[in-house]
Structure 1
């Protein structure tokens, strides 16, 4: 059985009950990503591991990648029997849907039967996009009986989501109705949630799907065809009851609180610039983006998709003359930041590519107490100590 990370297990148990199903998507072994509670393992078709919201996540290419639960008999008896419950997942979509194009995150329903609208005949589907080109998130229940298709429940975010950004979605359903949370903020209609069909008083969940033939991650039925998700899906959890707002926050923090980035200790705190580029490296944990800034200037960034615990950067932009801080920031899926700093000392004071007498003359001209670029040691004055730094890199 798949081994949880310690933090995930402690919080799942610490809530007083264990989720019905939990896919961490941290590993793929022999083409399978294990489900750690009920044994609802997912067969992975093409998707690959990348840095996810919490360690590993499944990256889908939008062409034909998906993951499917192997045992539909067990799925129907467990998650497929739930009249109420909670669904929670983290996702990042990398493609903006066009007209009649969707990005399906989760699907339970018919394997190949379509409605007269071109949708799945029977399903619950969590997707980005709908009938028109848009980037809203939808949770839709479609039901077809005797050639008549109904949509008992469908909500969407009012606002469009952003391509390439991480989101956490939670939808809870009980006799008290449905509650929706995006990034730990409850959505309300009117406002930031729109009920297309039904309303927040309804109780409909996975047990209301009439045809339970497939459970897919990253694949759905739309526009009379199979459609595929492009991006990363991670930390998918189903409970057999509605989580409270406090528990939703706990689930959000289980992922949002994790992250770290440090510059390696073998890199001195003060770095003299002697080349056109600077290489930094260090350790990280659960970081999806690395950013850096020199002397309070513009931010540069690069995504981190690797599951390695180390990072390296080649800084190619010019470093201004004098003494400046470089700030390296790791950002996790919840946009929380973890930073480390170093001091860069640019000795080429006149930016002519050579450290020589011209730089020395500039330093002599600023001799004494000053708040100036010639103060290379940062002690508030230009003195012999600054000249010695300059001479050490002469040429």
Structure 2
């Protein structure tokens, strides 16, 4: 704690120097304030709030959705003996990690004790894109605000020293940034701040925050706070400058304190103890993700991006998260690649898109720019790598082209539904598919063409199915993906079109057609009209993206594996959703789509638990009594001439109170999962039976299964997958058991432990 002259007026001070634990002391009153954090009381996992290096000693990291401090006021607190006062100064070092969207125009609170509607109290906080403000309720019946001007926003991942001053005696409301005055608003001379007596003093949480999904409080601070002080006087410019300079003088280099990115980045370590969280599937370090997208290979590395809300495990203010990998299996977290900014391009979200190469062979990103000030609010935009300047193979930095490249043409597509560009180069031009729909016709992919990647021309509808015949294809298509698939038996080049239907009546799955691509007419002609499914799980394999791997020429698709939990459980967990395993697709000799997990996944195999051939059901299950695990790879081949249903139970408790059954019904040609007994937790919603058609005729059933925490992915005979989620309540739900309703021959079986990729 410093002892400068201005500290004589100090009435509250949080130094956040504990460095550990779940409380922090307010030094003047010596009150120990508990740090409210979801993991202090979560039923899923428990650990302390996250502490980081501060500008002096340690600082406290606020997670953006659950971390806050409620201070217990005592007789030394401002306003405890009087209803109003004329001078107030708040000083704090702040390092934001993310900005709030600004829902309902409310500020993300740094510190506040206010009631705006009653014109009472004070609020220091942030809004969209780093803007910030100090606001007070005065005895004149006014609510007064002072805002930082443009160019003085609080930068992300950087320390800023801010002071907010009310000087009612002089009639001024001021802001200071890093020791310098940046804004002043006049208030009535002699006015006094009116206390919000029935309101808590909160740090990191707005007294009147918006609520999302009945669970999530918005306008909560994300980042690190340190050296938070409140004075009962209006500090002068000289005092504030001296205070800032004093701290600089004690810095090792005598300069503004630096903040290494590793200190403030989202940290996945605390969530690794969550037994339901997958460990060898790609996931954000914490919080929310939507679909992974825009895969691209460059300079020996694979890049994969994903839709991400860095504020918490809920769908809100979407950015592009970023992973990089040498092998498509072991991923590294990189800083957010694209974020909404205070511009006219995408201030309200960076939604899905794709990646391709420019004329120089450098990666570029095409994304959906969200700007709610426009109607329609969606357009296609471009971001270019800074590789030519920095030669960073991790491709951390991207520069957005300042204007939208493709606006929705008048009368083309469903108004306001125009998103998810999939871009590739064909000969000497670039082509783009954009997801949309046509009223009374249904979802469509629209085609655009460009000679230079900047000027685009609408070329028509790429493919339009019969909505009356297939109503589950919905009124809107998202995430169109178009890839060359292979040469068929007649020597014809086949392509695959994948889409994700949304809207009223849509079945939100990944549907596909195999067919021929007419590059002259820029249209697609499917071999059969009826769409097909890759995965027969229900809403756990969605959000497709894809690429042709330049190293191997494989066609690889990526998906989101939906978590399918309640908002309350996602709040407690601190994360929502993850990627599915990368999937190689190809054209089989019989003309059907072949699927298989990429071979690189074998690098994750650990202990091999069993390997046997030609056993009866009873013999095989005797062997399996020694196998336990919730992160396993299983390969099994089953045959029966008498049984109708054959399969395997996974995630079983010893008493079978919890179990999940994967099985094949030969009579109905169905691949199914029975989750009726998957969990005893009544809060979980992943239950029931789901599945779909798989025709393997009289062939043996070949299952390739991946268990990873709550994830179950089963690949059957190289033809279909079934992706699902289960959240057993018991920690002993680790056993396996083969199963059938008749005699069963186990042709072969192998089981491995799987290692974490993190």
Match of 2:108 in 1: 103
Instruction: Report if the CA contact (8 A) 1:107-1:220 is conserved.
Output: yes
Compared CA separation, residues 36 and 61, structure 1 to 2 (3 A): same
- Give how far 1:55 is off: 2.0
Structure 1: runs of 5+ lacking an equivalent? 190-194, 262-284, 291-301, 307-395
CA distance in 1, matches of 2:114, 2:149: 25
Match of 1:55 in 2: 57
Match of 2:223 in 1: 231
Instruction: Report if the CA contact (8 A) 1:287-1:304 is conserved.
Output: no
- Give how far 1:211 is off: 3.3
CA distance in 2, matches of 1:78, 1:169: 28
Instruction: Report if the CA contact (8 A) 1:153-1:204 is conserved.
Output: no
The alignment status of 1:213 with 2:208, answered yes or no, reads no
Which residue of 243, 256, 266 corresponds with 1:251?
243
Compared CA separation, residues 247 and 73, structure 1 to 2 (3 A): closer
The alignment status of 1:162 with 2:165, answered yes or no, reads no
CA distance in 2, matches of 1:252, 1:79: 31
Match of 1:176 in 2: 170
Instruction: Report if the CA contact (8 A) 2:113-2:196 is conserved.
Output: no
CA distance in 1, matches of 2:132, 2:191: 18
Alignment of 1:342-381 (within 5 A): none
Compared CA separation, residues 288 and 78, structure 1 to 2 (3 A): farther
- Give how far 1:185 is off: 1.1
SS in 1 for 2:164: strand
Match of 1:77 in 2: 80
RMSD: 3.6
Q: Deviations over 1:4-24 (max 9, x none)?
A: 4xxx2xx33x45825122111
Structure with more contact order per residue of length (Cα contacts < 8 Å, sep ≥ 6): 1
Alignment of 1:257-336 (within 5 A): 257-260=249-252, 288-289=258-259, 302-304=261-263
Instruction: Report if the CA contact (8 A) 1:55-1:286 is conserved.
Output: no
Q: Deviations over 1:71-121 (max 9, x none)?
A: 3665342797543132111111111221416421001135xxx84xxxx97
- Give how far 1:173 is off: 2.6
Which residue of 70, 84, 89 corresponds with 1:86?
89
The alignment status of 1:185 with 2:195, answered yes or no, reads no
SS in 1 for 2:8: coil
Structure having the higher Rg: 2
CA distance in 2, matches of 1:20, 1:124: 16
Which residue of 132, 137, 157 corresponds with 1:137?
132
Match of 2:374 in 1: none
Compared CA separation, residues 168 and 80, structure 1 to 2 (3 A): farther
Q: Deviations over 1:202-229 (max 9, x none)?
A: 5656x51233420111000456444311
Instruction: Report if the CA contact (8 A) 1:102-1:222 is conserved.
Output: no
- Give how far 1:253 is off: 2.1
Instruction: Report if the CA contact (8 A) 2:14-2:25 is conserved.
Output: yes
Which residue of 25, 33, 39 corresponds with 1:42?
33
- Give how far 1:142 is off: 4.8
Instruction: Report if the CA contact (8 A) 1:21-1:36 is conserved.
Output: yes
- Give how far 1:29 is off: 6.7
Q: TM-score, normalised by structure 2?
A: 0.29
- Give how far 1:200 is off: 4.9
CA distance in 2, matches of 1:107, 1:249: 24
Instruction: Report if the CA contact (8 A) 1:219-1:229 is conserved.
Output: yes
Compared CA separation, residues 258 and 73, structure 1 to 2 (3 A): same
Match of 2:506 in 1: none
CA distance in 2, matches of 1:17, 1:52: 23
SS in 1 for 2:26: coil
Q: TM-score, normalised by structure 1?
A: 0.52
SS in 2 for 1:176: coil
Name the structure where strand makes up a greater proportion of residues.
2
Match of 1:380 in 2: none
Structure 2: runs of 5+ lacking an equivalent? 38-48, 212-216, 266-758
Q: Deviations over 1:313-358 (max 9, x none)?
A: xxxxxxxxxxxxxxxxxxxxxxxxxxxxxxxxxxxxxxxxxxxxxx
Compared CA separation, residues 141 and 168, structure 1 to 2 (3 A): same
Which residue of 91, 110, 124 corresponds with 1:126?
124
Which residue of 8, 16, 24 corresponds with 1:17?
8
CA distance in 1, matches of 2:82, 2:160: 23
Compared CA separation, residues 171 and 16, structure 1 to 2 (3 A): closer
Match of 2:482 in 1: none
Compared CA separation, residues 304 and 164, structure 1 to 2 (3 A): closer
CA distance in 1, matches of 2:248, 2:112: 25
CA distance in 2, matches of 1:93, 1:247: 25
Q: Deviations over 1:126-171 (max 9, x none)?
A: 1111xxx4421111225899xxxx6521111112332222211112
Compared CA separation, residues 140 and 16, structure 1 to 2 (3 A): closer
Instruction: Report if the CA contact (8 A) 2:92-2:162 is conserved.
Output: yes
Compared CA separation, residues 71 and 210, structure 1 to 2 (3 A): closer
SS in 1 for 2:28: coil
